[in-house]
Amino acid sequence: MVAVLSRIFGLHHLELIEDAVQDTFLKAATSWRSHIPEQPEAWLTQAAKNRTIDLLRQINARKNRQDQIPHGSVALEIDDRFLETDIADSQLRMIFVACHPALAKEEQIAFALKAISGFSMKEIAGALLLKEETIKKRLVRARKKIADLNITLSFPEPKEISSRISGVLQIIYLIFNEGFHSTKPDQLISKDLCGEALRLCKLLLLKESFRTGSLYALFALMCFHSARLEAKQMGHDIIDLKHQDRGKWYLPLIVLGNDALEKSFSYSDRSLYHYEAAIASEHVRAVSFENTNWQHILGYYDEMYALSPSNQILLSKATIYLQINQSKAAQKTLNRIRPEELGQRKYLYHGCYAEYYGQVQEKENALKEFNLAISLCTNHLERVYLERKRDAIMGSSAD
């Protein structure tokens, strides 16, 4: 709805449009308690349209410019724009607009996650491993540039698409990651966000001019991860990869992912998505946790790190070393990490170090690291998961 209304009224009204959409959902939350309309989507659409016009009318009235209030033809145009196919098109336009070359890369991502997906400051900061204050500054800069340069919600020319597509893919990737590993305090996964990222990716794949190896690889990665969603959580308990019921993994998505990964190699471009998808593919093809080809996975992480060094990749490598009981290699890798650069994910570093100390029978250090990880973790379900691991260490110490 934000994308469609922005296309009609212009991005310079973005904050007003966001307010109108929020007002619409608040109204629904109260008025639907006793009766849900037969067509909820149509109700929301009409209410959002009317609220936007009302807010514009109020602003214009205050400025004594009643003659500029949207009436008649504009209202009809909004109705037309809310056709399902055009909503999809408008959301795609919104992503491309966020990747406008006038905006710095970091501004593009922050603006897209806020305006398109409605991420909170905390969620954006968590996705980008940054402080919330940094995100606020980026959004202010992005909105100012949009207003100053009068950037409109228009699709880029064909010659501009290739320069924007990498930013578009990164935004979709971050949307999916927030769904797969939520930064919300009371939620581990968000299937809606995972589904939205898959839908946006499919939307791009429908257009031949957008298709690249990276796009197919990203789609494959999201299919493989989505296939495991049902097995990742049981009630309020997190189920790690080792203990997941592989019978719950959704085969059609795995097949779809395999097909997309194969197609990705028919293009000349290579990206981190290729390696991440290859790693995910190793997991879903293994008949058991012990059967996993860990050496292949370590090799993919080495190639990823050579392409784009990061603390997150090192942390993933350290975790793999612990899985295969190579504690010395795990410690050596952990010592290369700068935990302060992991932002809200810093607790994962301390949790990994706790696992290392547990593996080498240094129980006291393991407990210290677990306690530190728990104190830094903001997600309730993950805290419970870490507490369970810590209590197991304490139990073995008592024995």
Q: Please give the Cα distance from 247 to 245 (Å, whole number).
A: 5
Domain that holds residue 139: 88-150+164-229+246-267
Assigned domain for 114 exists: yes
Residue 282 inside a domain? The answer is: no
Write down the H helix ranges in 265-362. 272-285, 294-307, 311-323, 327-334, 346-359
pLDDT in the model for residue 80: 52
**Residue 301 included in any domain:** no
Q: Residue 35: helix, strand or coil by DSSP?
A: coil
Query: What does each of the 399 residues of the chain score in pLDDT, given as a tens digit?
Result: 887 777 777 777 788 888 888 889 998 988 898 889 988 888 888 888 888 888 887 776 656 544 444 444 544 454 554 545 455 566 777 788 888 888 888 888 888 888 766 778 888 887 777 788 888 999 889 888 888 888 776 677 777 888 889 999 999 999 999 889 887 777 788 888 899 899 889 988 988 888 999 999 999 999 999 999 999 988 888 999 999 999 999 999 999 999 999 999 999 999 999 999 999 999 999 999 999 999 999 999 999 999 999 999 999 999 999 999 999 999 999 999 999 989 888 999 999 999 999 999 999 999 999 999 999 998 899 999 999 999 887 776 554
What's CA 307's distance to the chain center, in Å?
A: 22
With CA atoms as reference, report the closest residue to 389 among 367, 372, 361: 367
**Same domain membership, residue 222 and residue 177:** yes
Whether residues 92 and 78 share a domain: the answer is no
Chain length of the chain: 399
Same domain flag for 343 and 398: yes
- Give the residue carrying structure tokens 């197991």: 392
Q: State the total domains in the chain.
A: 3
3-state secondary structure of 162: helix
The answer to whether 160 touches 377, Cβ cutoff 8 Å, is: no
* Residue 22 to residues 44, 120, 197, 367, Cα–Cα distance (Å): 11, 13, 22, 44
- Residue 189 within any structural domain of the chain: yes
Same domain for 18 and 41: yes
- Who's near 379: CB < 8 A, 6+ residues apart? 182, 183, 184, 185, 186, 187, 188
Rounded CA separation 220/119 (Å):
24
348 and 255 co-located in one domain: no
Tokens of 265: 């190699």
pTM for this model (two decimals): 0.77
Same domain, 140 and 212: yes
Q: What is the DSSP string of 96-125?
A: HHHT-TTS-HHHHHHHHHHHTT---HHHHH
Query: Which residue, 40, 60, 82, sits at the end of a domain?
Result: 82
Tell me the two tokens of residue 156. Answer: 């880029």
| Domain endpoint, select from 36, 53, 82 | 82
| Residues 12 and 138 reside in one and the same domain | no
